[in-house]
Amino acid sequence: MIRAHTVEQVRAAEARLLAQLPEGALMQRAAHGLAHAVLDLLGGGYGRRVLLLVGSGDNGGDALYAGAVLARRGAYVEAWLLSDKAHAAGVAALGQAGGVVRRLDTSSASASDYPTTEQPRSSSRERAQRATVSRRSDFDVVVDGIVGIGGRPPLREGAAAALEAVAGVPVVAVDTPSGVDVDGGELVGPHVVADVTVTFGTHKVAHLVDPASTASGVVHLVDIGLDLPEPALEALQPADVAALVPRPGPHAQKYTRGVVGVRAGSAAYPGAALLCVAGAECGLAGMVRYVGDPSVADRVRAARPEVVGDGRVQAWVVGSGSHDGAEEALRAALADDVPLVVDADALAFADRVGAAPAVLTPHAGELAAMLGVERDEIEAAPLRHARAAAERYRTTVLLKGRHTLVAEPGRPVRVTTSGTPWLATAGAGDVLSGVIGALLAAGLSPYDAASVGSWLHGAAATLASQGGPIVAGDAARALPAVVATLVG
């Protein structure tokens, strides 16, 4: 499991650990982890050229100490101090290691004010003595030590100008890309866009949740020995999914494995019925029933001879393509008093679900209608709105997106990081609701069914895609192969 904690949780854990360790030990752990990640990225230290952007806090301290390690490995390291309060011991350490330190006045800086003279090709000692500075193209990497978990977004003007001055150079962010909203994962103004983020102790919410996760690049976690409580957020990994996926026991029969019923599709949208059933037929439940418009039911049975008609089920999937039959489909499903997936057209009636165990599966537009806000607001702050919806409906809410979120009151939000952009295709949501229904029927809780279903759906899309385009049915067809690799 990948876990992410809030700034408050990290600070509390750090305080407990700091009390047991010699002064500075934690920062040294962080800085060495950072330096080694930079060395890995650059393929070594000797002859490499590293620029540190250093803010006023300990995030800058990490960058400076890491810079000292890199300088001792033969790298040319130059630090631009963006504040006159930069970490003093870190500045001294970098200087002792032969690094170049420049104090910049960022109060009125624009990108053109930043150093642009060419760096002479001479020994690192000479370079350090002359304290000459480089053109942006002379740096192999920029280390962003502007702000970490102590930052308040957005990035201040001077820091943003410094970034602009080195645009195009690969960036390694220290702990978090500076300027992002660390706990909310929102982007509210200028911020660093990192190629790699080296974080300490645990992931932060912004590394996993969109839109901020797009600014984090590849996230590398350095263990500094923190003892942490239940996370704010978690991302299932293959081993977690494998542990949760239902498997038939030696005496299994179709009814004990669970029966999932689908009330989806309509004469206007027959394809939604077929795709939802295709997801439900992933093989994780013992039987699939379809109930709907007779002409659609005929098409479902023609395509999928295993599917049977109305009867007892352990879970219902309602709403994908139900059109104006959604309200009645939801009413009928609720009458059975079993867990249900409420999708698409049925989401307009989500208030009727009450205390029934359920997964609501809106995309941003549907959630906007449910909460009475604009779609843009959901897309700018998906985590905040997924949590708000879970509280508002007192149930499990799966908000679809590049990194789908599963929120339930009182539980860490689960974020899905499997998948491919090729899955943004018509009918993908219908398949997803079917898979989640099958998992509910097999006995998983709404929280597990939603997060495992979403993970499997993303992994199946990746497998089907092989880097190229797919349609929703391709993802459904790849589901059994994904499950086989997990449980095999």
Ligand X SMILES: NC(=O)C1=CN([C@@H]2O[C@H](COP(=O)(O)OP(=O)(O)OC[C@H]3O[C@@H](n4cnc5c(N)ncnc54)[C@H](O)[C@@H]3O)[C@@H](O)[C@H]2O)[C@@H](O)CC1
Binds ligand X (CB under 6 A): choice among 93, 149, 342, 413? 149
Least CB distance to ligand X at residue 61 (A): 6
The H or E element spanning position 9 is: helix 7-18
Sign of the dihedral defined by the CA atoms of residues 414, 417, 418, 419, in that order: positive
Binds K ion (CB under 5 A): choice among 178, 395, 454, 465? 178
The token pair at 219 is: 């996230």
- Residue 59 makes contact with ligand X by CB under 6 A: yes
Under a CB-based contact definition with an 8 Å cutoff, are residues 79 and 54 in contact?
yes
- Report the C-alpha gap between 486 and 185 in whole angstroms: 30
Residue 459: Cβ-neighbour burial (10 angstroms; 0-12, 13-18, 19+): buried
Closest CB to ligand X among residues 55, 211:
55
Question: Which residues carry a binding-site annotation for (6S)-NADPHX?
Answer: 58-62, 148-154, 175, 272, 321, 363, 430
- Residue 18 makes contact with ligand X by CB under 6 A: yes
The residues pairing with 200 across neighbouring beta strands, listed in sequence order, are 222
Least CB distance to ligand X at residue 26 (A): 4
Could you write out the DSSP letters of every residue in 319-383?
-TT-GGGHHHHHHHHHHTTS-EEE-GGGGGGGGGGTTS-EEE---HHHHHHHHTS-HHHHHH-HH
- Name residue, tokens 């001294």: 92
Tell me which residues in 88-147 interact with K ion (CB under 5 A). Answer: 144
- Report the C-alpha gap between 318 and 433 in whole angstroms: 8
Binds ligand X (CB under 6 A): choice among 90, 99, 148, 319? 148
Partner touching 155 among ligand X, K ion, none, CB below 5 to 8 Å by kind: ligand X
- Residue 199 makes contact with K ion by CB under 5 A: no
Helix axes 446-465, 428-441, angle to 10 degrees: 130
Query: How does strand 358-360 pair with strand 396-399?
Result: parallel
Question: Which residues carry a binding-site annotation for AMP?
Answer: 400-404, 429
- Report the C-alpha gap between 248 and 11 in whole angstroms: 44
Least CB distance to ligand X at residue 128 (A): 25
Binds K ion (CB under 5 A): choice among 109, 174, 346, 397? 174
Measured at the alpha carbon of residue 309, what is the angle toward residues 308 and 314, in degrees to the nearest 5?
85
Closest CB to ligand X among residues 27, 70:
27
- Report the C-alpha gap between 236 and 1 in whole angstroms: 5
Using CB under 6 A, count the residues that bind ligand X: 28
Closest CB to ligand X among residues 153, 453:
153
Partner touching 26 among K ion, ligand X, none, CB below 5 to 8 Å by kind: ligand X
Measured at the alpha carbon of residue 290, what is the angle toward residues 288 and 291, in degrees to the nearest 5?
150
Sequence-distant (6+) residues with CB within 8 A of 372 are none
- Report the C-alpha gap between 65 and 223 in whole angstroms: 17
Question: Which residues carry a binding-site annotation?
Answer: 58-62, 144, 148-154, 175, 178, 272, 321, 363, 400-404, 429-430
* Segment contacting ligand X by CB under 6 A, of 50-58, 88-96, 425-433, 434-442: 50-58
* Segment contacting ligand X by CB under 6 A, of 148-156, 403-411, 443-451, 462-470: 148-156
Question: Which residues carry a binding-site annotation for K(+)?
Answer: 59, 144, 178
Closest CB to ligand X among residues 155, 342:
155
* Segment contacting K ion by CB under 5 A, of 12-20, 124-132, 166-174, 271-279: 166-174
- Residue 63 makes contact with K ion by CB under 5 A: no
Measured at the alpha carbon of residue 236, what is the angle toward residues 13 and 152, in degrees to the nearest 5?
45
- Residue 147 makes contact with ligand X by CB under 6 A: yes
The token pair at 147 is: 């702000």
User: Mask: binding to ligand X, 197-236, rule CB under 6 A, as x and -?
Assistant: ---x-----------------------x------------
Least CB distance to ligand X at residue 55 (A): 5
Partner touching 18 among K ion, ligand X, none, CB below 5 to 8 Å by kind: ligand X
The residues pairing with 164 across neighbouring beta strands, listed in sequence order, are none
Closest CB to ligand X among residues 151, 246:
151
Closest CB to K ion among residues 90, 401:
90
- Residue 26 makes contact with ligand X by CB under 6 A: yes
The H or E element spanning position 457 is: helix 446-465
Tell me which residues in 152-171 interact with ligand X (CB under 6 A). Answer: 152-153, 155-156, 159
- Report the C-alpha gap between 181 and 186 in whole angstroms: 5
Least CB distance to K ion at residue 196 (A): 12
Sign of the dihedral defined by the CA atoms of residues 385, 388, 392, 393, in that order: positive
- Residue 425 makes contact with ligand X by CB under 6 A: no
Partner touching 149 among ligand X, K ion, none, CB below 5 to 8 Å by kind: ligand X
Measured at the alpha carbon of residue 420, what is the angle toward residues 415 and 424, in degrees to the nearest 5?
95
- Residue 57 makes contact with ligand X by CB under 6 A: yes
CA distances from 22 to 17, 19, 27, 113, 200 (A): 10, 8, 11, 41, 18
- Residue 483 makes contact with ligand X by CB under 6 A: no
Residues that bind ligand X (CB under 6 A): 14, 18, 26-27, 30, 55-60, 62, 146-153, 155-156, 159, 174-175, 179, 200, 224
Residues binding K ion (CB under 5 A): 144, 148, 173-174, 178
